[in-house]
Amino acid sequence: MEEQVRDYVYFENSSSNPYLVRRIEELNKTANGNVEAKVVCLFRRRDISSSLNSLADSNAREFEEESKQPGVSEQQRHQLKHRELFLSRQFESLPATHIRGKCSVTLLNETDILSQYLEKEDCFFYSLVFDPVQKTLLADQGEIRVGCKYQAEIPDRLAEGESDNRNQQKMEMKVWDPDNPLTDRQIDQFLVVARAVGTFARALDCSSSIRQPSLHMSAAAASRDITLFHAMDTLQRNGYDLAKAMSTLVPQGGPVLCRDEMEEWSASEAMLFEEALEKYGKDFNDIRQDFLPWKSLASIVQFYYMWKTTDRYIQQKRLKAAEADSKLKQVYIPTYTKPNPNQIISVGSKPGMNGAGFQKGLTCESCHTTQSAQWYAWGPPNMQCRLCASCWIYWKKYGGLKTPTQLEGAARSATEPHSRGHMSRPEAQSLSPYTTSANRAKLLAKNRQTFLLQTTKLTRIARRMCRDILQPRRAARRPYAPINANAIKAECSIRLPKAAKTPLKIHPLVRLPLATIVKELAAQAPLKPKTPRGTKTPINRNQMSQNRGLASIVGKRAYDSVAGGGVPFSANGRPMTSGMRSSAQPAVKRQKLNPADAPNPVVFVATKDTRALRKALTHLEMRRAARRPNLPLKVKPALPIRPVVAPLVPGPPAHPASTSEPIILED
């Protein structure tokens, strides 16, 4: 199998995913003797977002209406989406050994019939360009404009003696009369005078003398087409009177200087243009947007065609030709014969039997056949889906299944995306994208499997012995930071022989059943009915000897001053001075938690007294209680308020008394 530059080929980057469609731009030989291909990326519908898929669908409908395509069935329309690709300007390098075959990709034209693409193998089309960075779809600028929209309507020829009644001034402007009274010699002499005036004007201009320091360069610049066009236009405007035209070339202010884009552009701008042309080609819109935004599109186009007449363009063309000759033009790739890892190994000697671990009676997910020479595993492993040999090849080449499924979105109705709103969470999670509604009930129980991560004994030992490297407290505060587990285990293997004489004491942690924990929590904090605002729930101090349970779980809420006290306390339990501003805010109506909407039957509702007592906790105690909610929390007594020596005035009541024993709050 010989692959050449500009060929469209299949690349395989995964044994279970479809092939990648790429266009070979270059074939380069690496230092170790391998061949790498620089390719242009083409994307499938499955590679872009759903919003862009909707945009592609609307573009396809407009194309069918304008080109008057013949009607196709739903299955053909479904398969046509697999044949549509999206061109991009993204390049990547892939090893040539991953090439799995050739394909054909063409630009969709109005004269094409879409159903003809289904009749050909390995045939694709594209009409839109995908930008992976901006996530946009745009029409291809290289479209061949064929059709009634782009063709000119030629009017009938006028008969002899028939006059043209159209207004010629609105249609065109006359710039030269071939039946003028001047001879060719007189016209050539006037053009020589115009070139001489242009050379003299460049000698007087300071900027031109810097760009063309020599007389030869100024004369060459004055001989360009812009000077000749100006001279002939001057003759036309002066009625081909040489005397008037001469005086127009040299008015009272000085000689007329005519410059084209080649002279207006600086050397740095020309270098930017050459760099942009190397990157984007002749896409002048992108060149202007990314490299030369201060230039107009017309100026860039004019400079391009003038630049092609210079020696610089010829030199670059020769360098590119020499570079292309030195590169590889084609490469031979042997046929790939290794078995696919997704191939199901048959149990016995008879081919076509279900593989080990697969249930009997399963059919092909695409064509629903029960007989095939070879089966391939497809989709999530827990669903045990499979494809026959022909559908597997179709999946690898075209990135979809032959028949519409929920994965492809063809069988999804307009109201189905809203149907999950009234489902429970397990039911919504059990909906598989790989099955239709008919097979969903059969595979419902397969998705409800327990997912468990269990650490090994070496990992648990490494956590104890390498606490200085692991820093578990710091790692718990920053769960997003990566941890080098291999380095920790390597250090543990070094420290483990030294600590073998004094083995670690690993105490097994006995955990209560979940039902027991829920029962205790429900007994400690029963749900109370909604009380009217303004009433305070009394603190039951007779239950101080009981375990507090989860009363230490505190939340970040705004609160007023301490209940029953006139002196506000800060978050760390210390009284505020008169110079400090209290953070008390006016009471805001809070929305009560509806027990019917709670995910669990146990609900804890904090009262005002509970939130007021949280002020007695310091910041350190608050964090410690959050990290260890299973331990009972002790509330320290509040700091005493210094009595005022002046007139004996009864001071404000102190902070609510507390003891060293746990306080049980009844919510």
Distance CA 300, CA 642 (A): 84
Strand partners, 103: 8
Residue 566, pLDDT > 80, answer no
Q: Closest Cα partner for 235 from 222, 224, 226, 244?
A: 244
Task: Say if residues 582 and 571 touch (Cβ distance below 8 Å).
Answer: no
Q: Is 39 exposed, middle or buried (0-12, 13-18, 19+ CB in 10 A)?
A: buried
Q: Long-range pairs for 454-462 at CB < 8 Å and ≥24 separation?
A: 458/489, 458/492, 459/485, 459/489, 460/506, 461/492, 461/496, 461/504, 461/506, 462/488, 462/489, 462/491, 462/492
Residue 431 has pLDDT above 70, yes or no: no
Interaxial angle between packed helices 389-398 and 74-83, expressed in degrees from 0 to 180 and rounded to the nearest 10: 50
- Using only C-alpha atoms, what is the Rg of the chain? 41
Tell me what the pLDDT averaged over the chain comes to.
74
pLDDT at 594 > cutoff 80: no
Q: Over the range 12-30, which residues count as b (16 or more CB within 10 Å of their CB) and which as e?
A: beeeeebbbbbbbebbeee
Token couple for 414: 């307009």
Task: Return phi, psi of residue 315, to 5°.
Answer: -65, -45
Distance, CA of 573 to CA of 619 (rounded, Å): 9
User: 33 CB contacts (<8 Å, ≥6 apart)?
Assistant: none
C-alpha distances (whole Å) from 445 to each of 241, 429, 441, 452, 575 are 98, 11, 8, 18, 59
pLDDT at 504: 55
Q: What is the pLDDT of residue 524?
A: 64
Q: What distances in angstroms separate CA 82 from CA 19, 21, 57, 184, one per listed residue? A: 12, 12, 13, 65
264 pLDDT above the threshold of 70: yes
pLDDT at 607: 84
Q: Of the segments 75-89, 451-465, 628-642, which one has the largest average pLDDT value?
A: 75-89
Local confidence band at 346 (pLDDT 50, 70, 90 cut-offs): low
Three-state DSSP at 349 gives coil
pLDDT tens by residue, 42-95: 999 999 999 999 999 998 998 888 888 888 888 899 999 999 999 998 999 999
| Confidence at residue 451, expressed as pLDDT on a 0 to 100 scale | 61
Evaluate if residue 525 carries a pLDDT over 70. Answer: no
Q: What is the pLDDT of residue 252?
A: 81
For residue 129, give the H/E element and its range.
strand 123-131
Q: Is the pLDDT of residue 576 over 50?
A: no
Statement: residue 102 has pLDDT above 60: yes
Q: Which residue has the tokens 């490469």?
A: 331
The half-sphere exposure of 262 on its side-chain side, counting CA atoms within 13 A, is 21
Report the C-alpha gap between 71 and 77 in whole angstroms.
9
Better pLDDT: 404 or 133: 133
Q: Are 521 and 549 in contact (CB under 8 A)?
A: yes
| pLDDT tens-place string over residues 306-324 | 888 888 888 888 888 887 7
Beta bridge partners of 84: 125
Q: Which residues are bridge partners to 92 per DSSP?
A: 39
Distance from first CA to last CA of the chain, Å, rounded? 78
Portion of the chain with pLDDT greater than 90, in percent: 16
Please give the pLDDT value at position 282: 86
Helix (H, G, I), strand (E, B) or coil at 269: helix
Q: Does the structure show a pLDDT above 70 at 424?
A: no
Confidence of residue 557 (pLDDT cuts 50, 70, 90): very low
Query: What is the pLDDT averaged over residues 276-295?
Result: 89
CB 652 within 8 A of CB 596: no
Instruction: Say which residue the tokens 């519908």 belong to.
Output: 45
Q: Are 662 and 633 contacting, i.e. CB atoms less than 8 angstroms apart?
A: yes
For the cut 60, the answer to whether the pLDDT of residue 543 exceeds it is no
Cα–Cα distances (Å) from 203 to 160, 214, 527, in that order, read: 55, 9, 97
Percentage, residues of the chain above pLDDT 70: 69
Query: Which tokens is 592 given?
Result: 């009560």
The average pLDDT across 423-435 equals: 40
Among 239-248, 485-494, 513-522, the range of highest mean pLDDT: 239-248
Residue 126 · residue 105 · CB < 8 Å:
yes
Which of 86-90, 249-253, 326-330 has the least mean pLDDT?
326-330
Q: What is the DSSP letter of 566?
A: S
- pLDDT given for residue 39 in this prediction: 93
Cα–Cα distance, 205 to 142 (Å, whole number): 42
123-132, 398-407, 596-605, 639-648: which is most confident: 123-132
pLDDT at 21 over 90: yes
pLDDT value, residue 436: 42
Give 381-443 as a DSSP string.
Answer: GGGTEEEEHHHHHHHHHHSS-SS--TTTTSS--SSGGGGGGGS-HHHHHH--TTS-HHHHTTT
What is the Cα–Cα distance from 253 to 255, expressed in whole angstroms? Answer: 7
Closest to 640 in 3D by CA, of 584, 585, 574 = 574
pLDDT in tens, 381-401: 777 788 999 999 999 999 999
CA distance 313 to 363: 62
Asked if pLDDT for residue 526 goes beyond 60, the answer is no
Higher pLDDT, 529 or 469: 469
CA distances from 378 to 74, 122, 317, 385, 469 (A): 24, 22, 50, 5, 43
pLDDT at 376 exceeding the cut of 80 = yes
Q: Check whether 104 has a pLDDT greater than 90.
A: yes
pLDDT tens per residue, range 606-628 = 788 778 778 888 888 888 888 88
